[in-house]
Structure 1
């Protein structure tokens, strides 16, 4: 990692964004590229969509690397990061954004459906973080941002699996922050609220939460760009004294 020119400059950094094909993942990749980072764009099945984002990153003037992998598969994740090490030189920033957000009433939910959601959100974050941390420790530091979910804090019908998995990321964030602070690695969690725009097929419907849109103090849904701005800010050198935190981007629907 090269020394940045300013507290808002990510030049010389390599950032990995999982689930980078659309919405928050795509917006975050572009925001990091605009700050000067080269971006590794992860996807699972939608290669054409990931490659489209890669073209946008390259149009900004930064290098893009597309990696396709099932992040619930340990060997696949290890292979993905070996490729990143070989082709990009290592990892300075990791944004754990990949998730599935299906809906199912609890009494109809199978153990397989429960485990699939936990695998993508929790196991995937663990596996990607573990491999990225190997690189960050060797490079003398880095930043991990986990993407939580507001339903983990206020509840939602038909989302027991998603809310539980997202809640687990808070504990993982704090423990990694403690363990890797001596190595110069910061770990934080950003929690989006109700975010507007076209939703992906795996996102499900807008969840029935214990608080509705009428409770959003700012009176509107957020945008993916607003979330991406906050995510990227936690990766900047200027945020070097922030770690182990959970920060909500939700227009005031939940305040901690």
Structure 2
């Protein structure tokens, strides 16, 4: 089966890492569906770039905290493009907040989007992958999910949960041709990380990165493109660290 027959779904594909992944997979010949929650304009801009590059794309609204919204979005993708072969769980929210001030609502909102949303998406697309006896799931985790958070404890917990989800799905489905992996970026230049990078603590982190700089979105994207390829069929249940040496675990 060629790339043109393997439909890729990228959640949160309107900006940052998700946008870069959508553009890169489209260039590799995959038809891509990218989701957005509120920023349709940014999503359409990404889609326009894909179309101008000769790719095939669909933009669809999806609320990660709502299974009904996810199901409706996936059905739209199936009717417009076909069965889903590749799922990139990228959509996420972040919040800088001292641990003692995190509310129940803060906690629930973070885990509902970042972790439960990824679980639901995987659960809902797996029937497509099982029918094809082929699939790729890549969860976008974070170094925060590996070494913990200070002012983003709930974010760190949600990203740690993605690593557990990755390993579990790999154990269940790898024998059916469906691999599941995670990538864990360190400090990468995105809109989401800009706030942290502008703090004194953030600047100190950059100084202590062995490579001596923050990461580029393209470096995360390249790893994802490889993981969804047939060349990576023997890699599953892994978390690929893209952090410039910040963390070796």
Instruction: Identify the match of residue 128 of structure 1 among 100, 112, 121.
Output: 121
TM-score, L = length of structure 1: 0.92
1:38 has 2:31 as partner: yes
Q: Deviations over 1:130-169 (max 9, x none)?
A: 1111111112211000000111222332100000000001
Q: Deviations over 1:149-196 (max 9, x none)?
A: 111222332100000000001110011011111321000000011012
Instruction: Identify the match of residue 103 of structure 1 among 96, 115, 132.
Output: 96
Q: Where does residue 80 of structure 1 map in the other structure?
A: 73
Q: Where does residue 22 of structure 1 map in the other structure?
A: 15
Cα shift at 1:117: 0.2
* Equivalent-residue separation in structure 2 for 1:175 and 1:130 (angstroms): 12
Paired residues in the alignment total 246
Gaps of 5+ in 1: 5-9
Cα shift at 1:204: 4.6
Q: Where does residue 171 of structure 2 map in the other structure?
A: 178
Cα shift at 1:58: 1.1
Instruction: Identify the match of residue 247 of structure 2 among 238, 245, 254.
Output: 254
Q: Deviations over 1:11-69 (max 9, x none)?
A: 32110000111110011111111111011010000001001101111122111000101
Is the contact made by 1:39 and 1:57 (CA closer than 8 Å) also made in structure 2? no
Instruction: Identify the match of residue 68 of structure 1 among 61, 64, 84.
Output: 61
Which has the bigger relative contact order, CA under 8 A and spacing at least 6? Answer: 1
Cα shift at 1:104: 0.8
* Equivalent-residue separation in structure 2 for 1:86 and 1:203 (angstroms): 37
Is the contact made by 1:14 and 1:93 (CA closer than 8 Å) also made in structure 2? yes
* Equivalent-residue separation in structure 1 for 2:195 and 2:216 (angstroms): 17
* Equivalent-residue separation in structure 2 for 1:181 and 1:205 (angstroms): 37
Q: Deviations over 1:77-118 (max 9, x none)?
A: 111111111111110111000000111111111100011000
* Structure 1 stretches of 4+ moved >6 Å: none
Q: Secondary structure at the match of 2:26?
A: helix
1:222 has 2:221 as partner: no
Higher helix share: 2
1:205 has 2:196 as partner: yes
| C-alpha RMSD of the superposition | 1.6
Instruction: Identify the match of residue 44 of structure 2 among 41, 51, 59.
Output: 51
Is the contact made by 1:99 and 1:121 (CA closer than 8 Å) also made in structure 2? yes
Instruction: Identify the match of residue 244 of structure 1 among 230, 233, 237.
Output: 237
* Equivalent-residue separation in structure 2 for 1:227 and 1:172 (angstroms): 20
* Equivalent-residue separation in structure 2 for 1:11 and 1:138 (angstroms): 17
Q: Where does residue 165 of structure 1 map in the other structure?
A: 158
Gaps of 5+ in 2: none
* Equivalent-residue separation in structure 2 for 1:120 and 1:204 (angstroms): 20
TM-score, L = length of structure 2: 0.94
